[in-house]
Amino acid sequence: MSIDRRHLIKAMAGVPIWATFPAFADSPVRIVSLDYAAAETLITLKVPPVGLQARDHWHRWVVEPALPDSVINIGQDLVVNMEVIASLKPDLIITTPYTDTLRPQLQRLAPVHKISVYDQAGTPLKNAYRETLELGWLAKRSDQAKAFLQAADHEFDTIKQSLSQHKVPPVSLVSFMDQRHVRVYGKSGLYQTVLDRLGIENAWTRPTNYWGFATVGLEELARHAPSDMHLIIFEPVLDEVKPTLAKSPIWRSMPVVEKENFTIFPPVLPFGMVPSALRFARLIRQYLQGNVS
């Protein structure tokens, strides 16, 4: 794939003007992101967005990388505050397929660019690589983006190698919605592609939605749980869930729980890009190395 040619075509199609005029290239690009995933990538590339949707919830869902204080809250993703965005005078606004319905309004404020990690292809990690390069180029951090991806690749390889010395069990990845329902992550989700990359088997092979998860009752999870699997629960877990689980016979009698083959991970953005994928890979290596022979 020739990246340069693609960019040329895009530039001709009227995308950011500074990219074609190096004279503008000094000051950092002011980007507003309607998506956490793009934001985490931009922070990693050292061009944090000036505005981000629901920034006050970042610590609950993403945590890492830390969000700089300078980032302004632009409201909820589907009803971002146009006035705030306008006053931030961004050079570029990043949307996703989910928020791209706002494009007509956003376009009046600044050029809009859609990144799609989640699409019909169901290969979010691959897409994330592609979109990272795209973001790097848009943010005038192409070199950093390439370097970051190389480092990521290297780290994935390292992790895979270190895990290959163990007998790695299948895992199931869930978030609790309430006491009785979980989101279980599977096919065409980011976690799935990370598991694939690391050569780990996902115990949940049943259908998932567009975003790569299925919302099911706890009993459904129990039904499709191989006995040797390990269960990984992501924070945030609501306070009222834990005591209920402690009493639930279905939960307690699940082999994975009886054998204590489960753990709670700190929040990892399930709809993230490469930084979240890496964060997840590190966490799972840490867990598996400590818990399997």
Partner 1 sequence: MKALAIKTDSLTNRAPWLVTVLFLLAAYVAWLLLAPHWSVLISEATIYDVERMIALYATLPRMATALLSGAALSLSGCLLQIALKNNLASPTTLGVSAGAHLALVLASLFAPALIAYSRDLVAAIGGLTAAGLVFALVSKRNVSPVTLVLGGLVVSLYFGAAATVLTLLNDRYLASLFIWGAGSLSQQDWSIPLNLIWKLSILMALAALLVRPLAILGLGDEAAKSLGASPGNVRLWTVALAVGLAVIVTSSVGVIGFIGLAAPTLARLAGARTVISQLIWSTLIGSALLFLTDNTIQYFAGSLASLVPTGAVTALLGSPLLLLLLRKNKSLQKPQAAIESVKRASYSRTAMGLIALLPPFLLLIASIVFGRTTTGAWDILTAMPASDLVFELRMPRVLSAAAAGSLLAIAGVILQRLSGNEMASPEVVGVSSGAMLGLAFAVFFIASDQLFALILCASVGAFAIMGLIVFMNRKSGFQAERMVLAGIAFSALLDALIGALSATGDLRSLMLLRWMSGSTYGASLSSTSVLIISACLLLVSVLALVRWMEALELGAGPARSLGVPVNRARGILFLMAGLMTAAATLSVGPLSFIGLMAPHIARQLGFTRAKGQILISASAGASLMILADWIGRYGYFPYEIPSGLISALVGTPFLMFLLSRRQNGN
Binding stretches for partner 1 (CB under 8 A)? 51, 57, 60-61, 72-76, 78-79, 81-84, 86-89, 104-105, 108-109, 177-181, 209, 215-220, 222-223, 225, 227, 238-240, 244, 247-251, 253-255, 258
CB of 2 to partner 1, least distance (A): 35
Secondary structure letter of residue 174 according to DSSP? E
Q: Which residues contact 4 (CB under 8 A, 6 or more apart)?
A: none
Please, which residue, 167 or 259, has the CB nearer to partner 1? Answer: 259
Please, which residue, 14 or 207, has the CB nearer to partner 1? Answer: 207
Cα dist from 137 to 40, 47, 144, whole Å = 16, 12, 9
Please, which residue, 164 or 209, has the CB nearer to partner 1? Answer: 209
Which of 277, 40, 276 shows the shortest CA–CA distance to 135? 40
Please, which residue, 87 or 150, has the CB nearer to partner 1? Answer: 87
DSSP element (H, E) containing 34? none
CB of 219 to partner 1, least distance (A): 4
CB of 144 to partner 1, least distance (A): 27
CB of 150 to partner 1, least distance (A): 34
SS3 233: strand
Helix axis angle for 124-138 and 142-164, nearest 10°, is 150
SS3 203: coil
Please, which residue, 94 or 152, has the CB nearer to partner 1? Answer: 94
CB of 73 to partner 1, least distance (A): 5
- Let me know how many helices (H) and strands (E) the chain has, helices first: 13, 12
